[in-house]
């Protein structure tokens, strides 16, 4: 993987690529064509601290508060390095990236100060609440200012997500006793779903709950639809299958919604007009066929408790109507303390037991969460950050579309739950959002799967993507006819 590609004779004249420095300026001085590494072992190709932070966060997720506190400390150091670097040169120094990094860093700072809020019962609770609120933001900062090859960062984060999902599936279906041994702060009721027709346990795997599993599954399924990221067709099919299995086994309705909406949106942005029309016609045909044989389909869907709830109870389902009560209580808490908030953790999932004598609410909405905990200033900053990320991952800046695959599930889950607390899944998605928001050039995605050389369009002949390496010295006509 680290070896340079052999030269291939080419009788056609090579094009001057000096003018591409401006196009690649968004990647900083380390990624200009004159200095792009052709070897994966190049020292500028790998950001060790960032890579360690990502892998460590995924590895220690099931191991309890102490191990996760260490992972949080490493994330803080990595984010601090990015913040300091943003004052100089490199990808973090772009104007757009600098603004987004400043917004995220300010929210983290407010969350840190909110640990001392009088409403927080103990310092330990405040620290746990800070981790729940800050991890997603630290991931955004790290992604925006990744101090190495963004191709490697995308691949690393994707593989961590894929491996976590695969192992979780094995644990859930083949080693259920091991799944039960993992200590979780959420009660057993979180994993159980059912009614008078029967109860079942939802998949948790290595993660803290079904919510995490479903979010991860929706991302993996949608990532299989994105161009230029997962090169191997076999791996794409595997990712789609693993992701869909996680969504089905977790039984979270936001996961089903994310998959449906994501397929439509990614299809609209990724396919040509003719491709989109053909696929929409195929969708209409399948939908018509589904209406004809709807009874067997409904019978199969009713085997999934989350869908059965929706069919039988509609909007009267307590898991849904309870959201309205939580949102109302969250708004009341914001009104009582609009400027200073109620402290980090006062709207954190699974922390209610510590707030017997303090104000607390499970807001079931990521946006309300930041308004409750840090006041209107923190809430507004978080809204602005999300708007900035949404504009920054538009297809003209993110050719991989992986930002859409990460952003759609995050937004869907953030509407009805605290998606930012779904660690380490939310951390991985935050890093991907940051990497895609920084502005990736065409075909930068490179293969996540099997090694190959990806030939670029004629309009971008100067860059050839190998397995994590950018080879600017290759002939512009190589791989083309």
Residues 157-186: what's their mean pLDDT? 88
Q: pLDDT per residue over 389-418, tens digit each? A: 998 887 777 777 899 999 999 999 999 888
Q: For residue range 132-150, what is the model confidence (pLDDT) as tens digits?
A: 999 999 999 999 999 988 8
pLDDT 10s digits, 320-334: 677 888 899 999 999
- Output the pTM of the full model: 0.79
For residue 64, the model assigns a pLDDT of 83
pLDDT bin (cut points 50, 70, 90) of residue 53 is: very high
Q: How many residues does the chain have?
A: 481
The values of phi and psi at residue 471, to 5°, are -110, 100
Q: Give the per-residue pLDDT at 253.
A: 85
Looking at mean pLDDT, say which of 73-82, 186-195, 274-283, 458-467 comes out highest: 73-82
Q: How far apart are CA 449 and CA 159, in angstroms?
A: 9
Condensed to tens digits (0 to 9), the pLDDT of residues 201-250 reads: 778 888 888 999 999 999 999 999 886 667 788 898 999 999 999 998 88
The DSSP 8-state label assigned to residue 398 in this structure reads B
Give the DSSP per-residue string, 187-234: -HHHHEEEETTEEEEPP-TTSSSHHHHHHHHHHHHHHTTSTTT---HH
Are the C-beta atoms of residues 462 and 472 closer than 8 Å to each other?
A: yes
Once rounded to an integer, what is the mean pLDDT over residues 94-112? Answer: 89
Angle between helices 48-59 and 425-437 (to 10 degrees): 150
DSSP-assigned letters across all residues of 66-131: HHHHHHHHHHHHHHHHHHHHTTSSSGGGSHHHHHHHHHHHHHHHHHHHGGG-TT---HHHHHHHHH
Concatenated DSSP letters of 413-430: HHHHS-GGGSTTHHHHHH
Domain boundaries, the chain: 20-471
Q: How far apart are CA 98 and CA 338, in angstroms?
A: 28
């Amino acid at each position: 993987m680290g070896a340079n590609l052999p030269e291939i004779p080419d009788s056609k004249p090579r094009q001057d690529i000096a003018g591409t420095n401006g196009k690649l300026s968004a990647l900083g001085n380390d990624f200009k064509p004159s200095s792009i590494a052709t070897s994966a072992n190049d020292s500028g190709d790998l950001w060790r601290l960032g890579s360690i932070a990502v892998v460590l966060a995924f590895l220690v997720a099931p191991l309890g508060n102490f191990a996760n506190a260490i992972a949080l400390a490493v994330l803080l150091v990595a984010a601090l390095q990015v913040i300091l670097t943003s004052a100089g040169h490199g990808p973090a120094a772009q104007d757009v990236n600098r603004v987004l990094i400043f917004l995220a860093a300010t929210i983290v700072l407010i969350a840190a100060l909110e640990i001392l809020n009088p409403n927080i019962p103990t310092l330990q609770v405040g620290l746990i609440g800070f981790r729940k609120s800050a991890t997603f933001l630290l991931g955004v900062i790290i992604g925006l200012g990744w101090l190495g090859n963004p191709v490697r960062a995308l691949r690393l984060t994707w593989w961590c997500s894929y491996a976590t999902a695969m192992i979780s599936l094995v644990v859930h279906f083949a080693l259920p006793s091991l799944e039960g041994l993992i200590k979780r702060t959420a009660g057993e009721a979180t994993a159980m779903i059912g009614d008078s027709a029967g109860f079942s346990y939802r998949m948790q795997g290595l993660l803290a709950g079904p919510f995490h599993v479903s979010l991860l599954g929706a991302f993996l399924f949608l990532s299989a639809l994105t161009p230029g990221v997962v090169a191997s067709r076999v791996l794409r099919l595997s990712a789609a299958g693993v992701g869909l299995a996680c969504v089905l086994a977790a039984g979270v309705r936001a996961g089903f919604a994310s998959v449906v909406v994501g397929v439509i949106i990614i299809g609209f942005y990724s396919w040509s007009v003719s491709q989109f029309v053909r696929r929409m016609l195929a969708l209409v045909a399948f939908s018509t066929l589904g209406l004809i044989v709807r009874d067997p389909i409904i019978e199969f869907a009713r085997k999934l408790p989350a869908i059965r709830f929706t069919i039988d109870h509609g909007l009267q389902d307590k898991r849904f109507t309870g959201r309205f009560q939580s949102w109302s209580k969250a708004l009341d808490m914001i009104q009582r303390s609009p400027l200073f908030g109620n402290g980090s953790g006062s709207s954190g999932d699974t922390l209610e037991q510590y707030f017997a004598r303090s104000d607390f609410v499970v807001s079931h909405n990521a946006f309300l969460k930041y308004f409750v905990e840090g006041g209107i200033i923190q809430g507004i900053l978080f809204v602005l950050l999300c708007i900035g990320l949404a504009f920054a991952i538009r297809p003209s800046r993110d050719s991989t579309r992986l930002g859409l695959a990460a952003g759609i599930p995050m937004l869907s889950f953030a509407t009805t739950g605290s998606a930012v607390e779904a660690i380490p899944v939310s951390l991985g998605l935050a890093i991907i959002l940051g990497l895609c928001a920084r502005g990736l050039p065409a075909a930068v995605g490179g293969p996540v799967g099997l090694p190959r050389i990806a030939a670029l369009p004629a309009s971008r002949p100067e860059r050839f993507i190998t397995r994590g390496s950018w080879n600017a010295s290759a002939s512009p006509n190589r791989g083309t006819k």
